[in-house]
Structure 1
Amino acid sequence: MGGRPPGPRSLLLAEVAQATQRLADAGVPSPRNDAEELAAFVHGVKRGELHSVPDPDFDARYWEAINRRVAREPLQHITGRAYFRYLELQVGPGVFVPRPETESVVGWAIDAVRAMDVVEPLIVDLCTGSGAIALAMAQEVPRSKVHAVELSEDALKYTLKNAEGSRVAVHQGDALAALPELDGQVDLVISNPPYIPLTEWEYVALEAREYDPQMALFSGDDGLDTIRGLERTAHRLLRPGGIVVVEHADTQGGQVPWIFSEEEGWADAADHPDLNNRPRFATARKARP
């Protein structure tokens, strides 16, 4: 057979292959992705540039990072960053790490706001955490005015860091009593609230159960306590015809739209699937008088 013999494989790529197997054996859901992300983080390169790291530059701190991930510490806590749509966010202990499934929730909301006949839409993100939703809305709806509300002081540190230099106005406070000065004026209210039933604690992934703040995960025996409160807050904040968008668990499909009932002043309540075709978020429109 002709052709050139394959070149030597870089030490880093060999280590990444070993790390992938270790992570897989530990039950990490995305071992290859995490092994490469940690290698890129430790060596200060992009994932696509890992092959270019010279053997002498291999950093033994890579295995320290892998060991932390084997112990199920979230990837984002190790790197201190999370990616959400077109954003890179600072995250760490005390703040909920944004999940990919929320990106489809925000995508729907962005389309809904763009379809409104409003020059400078007013948007409120309740339970904002890292600020991922609010910042994505501000970035992708350029003339919008966005307010983000977070109760936790620990989470708020990250919200403020991520929102620095943006148009997002950050408020510390209870989402259920937030922003009375905006009552009846808001075009869209969006939230990724806590929605896991307390009875499901043992089934929650270790990364979330041990590292995400409990107040960002659990909400009563059926998981819907906060959403019930948000229903009244959203109705108070929205103008007639304004829209609410609320993320929920895929097992709660069909339950959440009933909270936004016609009797409570809502119209067009509906559930929507995520990219895996699982019920992921509910929307409703504030009925006109």
Structure 2
Amino acid sequence: MRFEGLDLNLLIALDAILEERSVMGASRRLHLSQPAMSAAIGRLRQYFNDEIFTISQRKLWPTPLAQSLEKPTRDILLRIRSNLISPPKFDPESSERRFRLVVSDYASIVLMHAVMKRVYLTAPRVGLEILAFSDRVEDQLQRGEVDFVVIPSTSLIDGHPSQHLFADEFCCVAWSGSRQIGRSISLRRYLQVGHITAQLGPIRGLSFDERALAQLGHRRRIEVIAPNFTAMAAMVIGTDRIATMHHRLAAIFARNFPLKLLRVPVRFPAFRESLQWPASFHMDPALMWLREIITGVAAEVERTPAAKMRIG
């Protein structure tokens, strides 16, 4: 299809190349041969009368014109997908759609397990793909590569709609057999003992409790960095270390593992979880349906005290 002399298929090729920065990566993404992708680059150069890309160290580097085309191209493709390609109606009972969500292991247990069950009861053929956080989450949302992100309200991504889900507090988790840690812990002891913290995604950054402590002028001893919140809880078992965790998740673990929960000797701000989705798909009937289920389950989580939390 052409519009004012431009083959619109070239916009798909341009978007893939801008994302992958390589002919091989773009060709794999679009299931094209490398010669076909190279030909697409040639046609882009001819149409725009610009090199579009230069090659350096085996990578494609966009020219200033190509950089200026990146956002408009992405927006056009997203609007085509959301307004023309996506079906106008959504029938949960017959749909086989697969939704992709970026969710932490915390929200997977506290929220998504119940969401999954509710989706199964009303739409048994619908699939849910739960993805871990990465350093690409903003780009995934911008490109419409994911349908939803369950994210802390302090980390919301600009330019996309969001909705509050539920709030949580924090507590300390320790092994129930530890003789060094009793049923309560002072601030001095809290700062002395070894801590286990979590790293979500490939880039290590300050966790919520580290930031709060730093603002108060305190510093704790981090001895273990776990890959997620679930591992944090398991890793304190058999040690005299502690972990600072979301209270709802910790209460669930304490019923299934030899753990004890202690009040945090520092006043941390409440944790608020939010739901975010691509702005271009705001009116997608399927996303509106799933959004209603997620927010409905979240409202139940919000009303449930941490001590009474159950999986599902």
TM-score between the two structures when normalised by the length of structure 2:
0.27
Question: Which is bigger in relative contact order (C-alpha 8 A, separation at least 6)?
Answer: 2
Higher radius of gyration, 1 or 2: 2
